[in-house]
Structure 1
């Protein structure tokens, strides 16, 4: 895996995401309740604080939990909730060590269908259905992992020419389009909520 990504919007962090399957997975895991760029810069920040060029699932899985939480909590923090996310990153790495010999790319290596890939991603700690579909779309659209049926398995995130998620971001212009789409979705969801009823006197 050696591609150019533009998710962190920071060259060194993006280079790590493009060459390291584990960094890409960890970035996707961190991508919740914080801006996307902050989340996808996280793997690079972790690597710097571990004083390594790439993340290693075995090392992170075996790291002392309190020390790892402190590592992510040091300012600037890797996440808005660095303590809980440190635990999730370690759980993900422990799962990879147990099931894939610590190799993140083994999650998608040799899969024969999009449905199988979605199943594997869904099994990862911290990956719900939506996160699994978005990462599947990222694999298919930008990382060259495109087993038969991957677009169908990714759902709307797999649509060609869409601007729904990180899978569609390839630079500032597409980032702006994805942001605009998310704002539209938030506004639509807010408008769909029934107005709160006033209490009866």
Structure 2
């Protein structure tokens, strides 16, 4: 019994130490990565597309909707490419198109998205909500004194925006567009397959469960869990890959329990 208790205590101590090392390393990695992944400071967007996002709140919303199964640069360049294709970015004109007509602008080669039909429908729906509820401008979603909770709830009203995108949108508005909110602690980590893989393999969570992942994010950085999205996502994409993970160079290798077989997709 004594040996069993000692073994259990050693296991618990190992997991606690692992958690603290990951917390330290992921926050350090965030500081390195924050400018690189910033919409306003990073280099993943062409200057023309970046300028368009910065100057047009509706472009920000449409790019957020387009964050689905494509590279980040494809999603965040889509509004600018749509404007260039049509010669305007007037959502009142957009709203007058039928779904079939609007889809053509997305599907015409080169297609603006991997799923042009789905994304065109989501964006057309967003145009109508913006006109009906926000005077035609997404800026009114977050312009007035608002809490992070309110912004996330409003973003969730749009088709194609889920927990992941709403949390991501709030995080980007705060981090890259300097939006001031008092409750940054309510901006959770965005649930994503790359992030889920890292959490499972590192031992941060023991099962594939959204609520558990979100709760661990809150414990890792209670003041602002959402900032963990970028560093964990980048680790999942570049080191903790589905196959042949590069554990030796991973930024959280000191604390990772390397449960590689717990998640292989």
Query: What is the aligned partner in structure 2 of residue 152 from structure 1?
Result: 185
1:198 maps to none
**Secondary structure of 1:75 counterpart:** coil
Q: Distance in 1 between matches of 2:110 and 2:260?
A: 32
- Per the TM alignment, residue 147 of structure 1 is displaced from its structure 2 partner at its CA by 1.4
TM-score (norm 1): 0.77
Cα distance per residue 1:93-130 (max 9 Å; x no partner): 11111111211100111133111112111222211111
Task: Report which structure shows greater RCO (CA 8 Å, sep ≥6).
Answer: 2
1:16 aligns with 2:52: yes
Q: Contact 2:70–2:114 (CA<8 Å) still a contact in 1?
A: yes
Alignment gaps of 5+ in structure 1: 169-176, 195-201
Q: Secondary structure at the match of 2:171?
A: helix
Q: 1:192 aligned to 2:262?
A: yes
Larger radius of gyration: 2
- Corresponding residue number in structure 2 for 1:174: none
Structure 2 CA distance for partners of 1:97 and 1:8, relative to 1, 3 Å: farther
Given that 1:7 and 1:36 are in contact with CA atoms closer than 8 Å, whether structure 2 keeps it comes out as no
Change (3 A) 1:75 1:111: same
Point out where structure 2 has 5 or more consecutive residues left out of the alignment.
Answer: 1-38, 191-223, 243-257
Output the CA distance in 1 between the equivalents of 2:129 and 2:139: 13
Aligned partner of residue 62 in structure 1, secondary structure: coil
RMSD: 2.8
* Alpha-carbon spacing, 1:179–1:93, altered in 2? closer, same or farther (3 Å): same
Q: Does 1:44 align with 2:80?
A: yes
Equivalent residues of 2:94, 2:127 under 8 A apart? yes
Corresponding residue for residue 74 of structure 1: 108
| Superposition deviation, residue 84 in structure 1 | 1.7
Cα distance change of structure 1 residues 89 and 8 upon mapping to structure 2, 3 Å threshold: farther
Q: How many residues align?
A: 179
Which of 127, 130, 133 is the equivalent residue of 2:167?
133
Matched, 1:164 2:229: yes
